Amino acid sequence: MLRRNIRMRREYLYRKSLEGKERLLYEKKRKIREALQEGKPIPTELRNEEAALRREIDLEDENTAVPRTHIDDEYAHTAEKDPKILLTTSRDPSAPLQQFVKELSYVFPNAQRMNRGGQVISEIIESCRAHDYTDVVLVHEHRGVPDGLIVCHLPYGPTAYFGLLNVVTRHEIKDKKAIGTMPEAYPHLIFDNFSTKLGERTANILKYLFPVPKPDTKRIVTFSNQSDYVSFRHHIYEKHGGPKSIELKEIGPRFELRLYQVCITINLTIDCFFVCCYVMRKDDLPLKTK
């Protein structure tokens, strides 16, 4: 197992080291394509490489013309199997945090809760890799109030750190009959205002926590971005008066997410080797184009 982890890590780092060379080669091909299409002379610095580059351009199609990156590989195999999620908490969780995690286990299909106990993160990641988990979700709290959510995709990352705000759980809603029971069907997903590259990547991190639903599913999960605060809402709908008369019923829980950072991690070794980190600051890209 240890040798396999080392081999996979070296393979990942080698592929990542090639991205700069592939991007440089792509830019050279792009300049030659533009010159040929516009009838302009080939740039002087590319005339010695023109013949070889034109042969490569003739062999390319729409799938191979654009270079792939490590970001493309993160969720490349998600269509092959449904996600399998491990839900856990920080150490010594309070009763409100345990209740919130219990409700999250119903929100995410195929999620399993685990009591953290005295286990460290490295042990949790190692166990998840051995049992073919696709994601690890870790919930933090401050004085009994859930305030942080970490989503780690296995085995290559990414790992997203979210701040957790305005948490309202199902058991805090007084009218139990109005919210009904929690359905177990795979939900339809709605993503609103995730239009930048960072927004699309954030949407992918959240989207691939859910398996593909059936067309007739009446359960809906919404992630709506407003000023870089992502609102989570959970509904079911009914058609009492025909297809044009739809009644939404919120079944909880509800909360807001604030993206703090996205880390590109290699979860192949016990210590979760960090390759790069993008930290959300005031001057960083928002999730929505303004």
Q: Are 100 and 253 within 8 A, CB to CB?
A: yes
The SS3 assignment for 5 reads helix
Q: Rounded distance, CA 240 to CA 29, Å? A: 58
Pairwise pLDDT comparison (287 vs 144), residue with the higher score: 144
pLDDT digits (tens, 9 = 90+) for 190-225: 999 998 888 988 999 999 999 999 988 989 999 999
Counting Cα atoms < 13 Å in the Cβ hemisphere of 210 gives 24
Q: Rg of the Cα trace of the chain? A: 23
Pairwise pLDDT comparison (165 vs 50), residue with the higher score: 165
Alpha helices in the chain (DSSP H): 2-17, 19-38, 50-59, 70-74, 95-107, 121-130, 176-179, 197-207
pLDDT digits (tens, 9 = 90+) for 16-31: 776 777 777 878 888 8
pLDDT digits (tens, 9 = 90+) for 238-276: 887 766 778 888 888 999 999 998 886 544 433 343 443
Domain-wise residue ranges, the chain:
1-67, 85-263
Q: How confident is the model at residue 67 (pLDDT cuts 50, 70, 90)?
A: low
Q: How confident is the model at residue 172 (pLDDT cuts 50, 70, 90)?
A: confident
The pLDDT, as a whole number, for residue 63 is 62
Counting Cα atoms < 13 Å in the Cβ hemisphere of 114 gives 21
Residue 49 pLDDT > 60: yes
Pairwise pLDDT comparison (27 vs 277), residue with the higher score: 27
Q: Is the pTM of this model over 0.85?
A: no
Class of domain 85-263: alpha beta
- Sign of the Cα torsion 276, 281, 286, 287 reads positive
Percentage, residues of the chain above pLDDT 70? 80
What backbone phi and psi angles, to 5 degrees, belong to 28?
-65, -45
pLDDT digits (tens, 9 = 90+) for 100-135: 999 999 999 989 999 988 888 888 888 888 888 999
